[in-house]
Structure 1
Amino acid sequence: MTQQDGAPQSHGHGHGHEHGHGAGRDHEHGHGGHGLGGHEPGGHSEADEAGLAEVLDLDAEVLHSYLAEVTHLLAELTTAAPPERILDLGSGTGTGTLALLGQFKGAYVTAVDLSASMLRRVTDKVGAAGIAEGRVRTVQADLDEAWPEDLGPVDLVWASASLHHMADPDRALAELMTTLRPGGLLAVVEMDASPFPRFLSEESEAALGRPGLEERCHAAVADQHASDVPHLGDDWGVRLAAAGFAVEAERRFDIRLTAPLPAATGRYAQASLRRLRDHLQDRLSGEDLAALATLLDGDGPESILRRDDLTVVAVRTLWVARKP
């Protein structure tokens, strides 16, 4: 769907207790999550983590209305008893942590991530936001190895773009069932098989050379993730039900931002396409790599930073499940 004022459109898939839309949203991650397990080959270099952090922060800035809509839905589902203890599973740079603290004014959050550098960013953001000391605790953990014993009990678990990183998601869901108090909620946000948004029109791609550049990039990413991150794109509703959760809401967000776009959109597109290029060097043709180089040339006339024809197209799906 397209909305001319730049706000994302979304539609829901009923699961009986789904509530109405709020005012807008995230990421995270969209890319909202980072890493929880150490199963991905090679890990992340310092430069790669810095690039990922940049994408996560820009994702939050550009897709902020989506996150606001998601947290508003969670507030509606917890009107009778707003969460006091929240677990942010795979916190990344802290987008979810800050959004949840903004929505639930009296809550305390435990942010868990595999990366110490990401958790430092969470702490820095919390401090810069003037959030009271003690409302956020950070925990570095490789959850594919062992779960810390002091994560629960919590009222709400936020898992945005994080569960697909787990080597054994069903084990993770069993751990979360234990971590949640009875009646507590688990909010899972995931993307489809290619986690990067799309930014270019067919006309824009044709002007660069052979049409279909982003389609080929996303197909290559999906092929790569099929082996490296096999749980990306899973039906989490089925997994949640099998783990004993009662799925109360499932909502697909078809995000399509058009002009006027947020000021950071060009930088978001540049950072995303740069990561695509860096991870697909051996999977793309010389022609496609040259087209990406043209787009990523910050001073070039066809740079992604100079374009006035960008859009932002992405898909995110939210599942909200309750522990009986």
Structure 2
Amino acid sequence: MAAMLDLDAEVLHTYLSEVTSWVADLADGMTVRRILDLGSGTGKGTFALLPHFKDAEAIAVDSSPHMLRHLRDKARERGVTDRVRTVEADLDAAWPDFGEVDLVWASASLHHMADPDRALRDMFAALRPGGLLAVIELEGVPRFLPDDLGVGRPGLEARCQAAMAHQRAETMPHMGADWGPRLADAGFVIEGERPFTVELTSPFPEPARRYAQMVLRRTRTGLDGRLSADDLSVLDALIDDDGPQSVLRRNDLTMRAERMVWMGRRPEGRGAGE
């Protein structure tokens, strides 16, 4: 998972640069000294934001000690260990006291939470008046395969995504939510919402091929009984390391990845719960 998150940051770097530049524009005139990265994973948000805010420290929060160790290693490699603090915490439980923060970054984390509305209220309480919240959520799983792929009938990737969407509806019911009204209910003023799309065409760079393989391998998990044996056989050949049909060797791959971003601000002079 850590490797896939690192590849996600590398392959989707243009969107990440655009989002963090938008955050910096909205923060123009603010003093940003403390950034809270909730569900930080391997730190792609932390490391993308720090160059925009030269005097800020980032608090990276995740429930996985492995992810946080990986993040600390990356901080050492980048020479920013003095600006990055990691906190292991379950965001579905009572939150640690992070102190007052100026910017909260929540990328692909809200839909994992058991009670995201409570989490939004906690984010509001953690932010100083005038502080910013950036919520980034996935608009489905990236697509890579040609539409005509499949044994006897086209549309293998569409069937994979439909099966995964059904599975996610059972396990992650908040994925795909419209977070704008929920930010407003928590007290935030909505500064904007915007879709971001990243598209790649052949020739595919090598990191994008490895990213496709990892995403499709993750997609393959749990699809037994949800797809036909023929579909599963084709999918297994696609994610194989060495076979001729592997995505590491195909020349007909494209990529379309979509994210939705909401920006909210805690109003000046409004306390938590008001």
Residue 300, structure 1, aligned to residue 248, structure 2: no
**Structure 2 residue aligned with 1:279:** 222
Asked if residue 125 in structure 1 is aligned to residue 74 in structure 2, the reply is: yes
The counterpart of 2:34, out of the listed 85, 89, 93, is 85
Residue 199 in 1 paired to residue 144 in 2? yes
Distance of 2:203 and 2:242 partners within structure 1: 23
Q: In the alignment, is residue 135 of structure 1 matched against residue 80 of structure 2? A: no
Tell me, in whole angstroms, the C-alpha distance in 1 between the residues paired with 2:249 and 2:209: 8
- Equivalent position SS for 1:321: strand
Residue 271 of structure 2: aligned partner? none
Tell me the residue number matched to 1:55: 4
Q: Which amino acid aligns with 2:196?
A: F
Residue 115 of structure 1: CA displacement?
Answer: 0.6
Q: Does residue 1:262 correspond to 2:205, yes or no?
A: yes
**Counterpart position of 1:103:** 52
Q: Secondary structure at the match of 1:264?
A: helix
Tell me how far apart the structure 2 counterparts of residues 215 and 307 of structure 1 sit (CA, whole Å): 19
Q: Distance in 2 between matches of 1:296 and 1:201?
A: 15
Worse-matched range after superposition: 118-127 or 97-106: 97-106
Q: Which 5+ residue runs of structure 2 have no aligned equivalent? A: 268-274
Superposed CA deviations along residues 42-64 of structure 1, whole A, max 9, x for unmatched, are xxxxxxxxxx2121111111111
Aligned to 2:257: 314
State the match for 2:103 in structure 1: 156
Q: Which letter does structure 1 place at the counterpart of 2:266? A: K
Task: Give me the whole-angstrom Cα distance separating, in 1, the residues matched to 2:224 and 2:34.
Answer: 43
State the Cα distance separating 1:107 from its structure 2 match.
Answer: 1.2
CA drift at 1:260: 4.3
Indicate the residue corresponding to 1:222 in structure 2. Answer: 165
Deviations 1:279-318 (A, max 9, x none): 3223221111100111122211111000122111121000
Q: Distance in 2 between matches of 1:306 and 1:69?
A: 30
What secondary structure, in the 3-state scheme, does the structure 1 residue paired with 2:193 have? strand
1:263 & 1:77 partners in 2: Cα distance? 35
Cα distance in 2 for partners of 1:82, 1:310 equals 44
**1:134 aligns to what SS in structure 2?**
helix
Report the TM-score when normalising by structure 2: 0.94
CA distance in 2, matches of 1:115, 1:209: 42
Secondary structure at 2:42 match in 1: coil
Cα distance in 2 for residues equivalent to 1:102 and 1:95: 12
Structure 1 contact 88–110 (Cα < 8 Å) conserved: yes
Matched to 1:116, the amino acid is P
How far has the Cα of 1:83 moved from its partner? 1.7
Q: Please name the residue that 1:38 is paired with.
A: none
Choose which of 96, 109, 112 in structure 1 pairs with 2:61. 112
- Quick check: 1:86–1:156 contact (8 Å CA) kept in 2? yes
Instruction: Note the C-alpha offset of 1:79.
Output: 1.4
Q: Is the 8 A contact 1:87 1:111 kept in 2?
A: yes
Q: Distance in 1 between matches of 2:197 and 2:12?
A: 12
Q: CA-to-partner distance for each residue in 1:100-147, whole Å, 9 max, x for gaps?
A: 11222221000000111111111011011111x321110111121211
Give the ranges of 4+ consecutive aligned residues of structure 1 lying more than 2 Å apart after TM superposition: 259-263
1:186-205: CA deviation from partner (whole Å, max 9, x where unpaired): 0000012x3x20001124x1
Paired amino acid for 2:91: L
Give the C-alpha shift of residue 210 in structure 1: 2.7
Give the AA of the match of 1:83. Answer: V
Higher relative contact order (CA 8 A, sep 6+): 1
Residue aligning to 2:132? 185
- Determine helix, strand or coil for the equivalent of 1:87: strand
Could you tell me the percent identity over the aligned residues? 59
Distance 1:121 1:213 in 2: 35
Residue in 1 that maps onto 2:272 = none
Paired letter, 2:42: T
After TM superposition, give the deviation of residue 262 of structure 1 in Å. 3.3
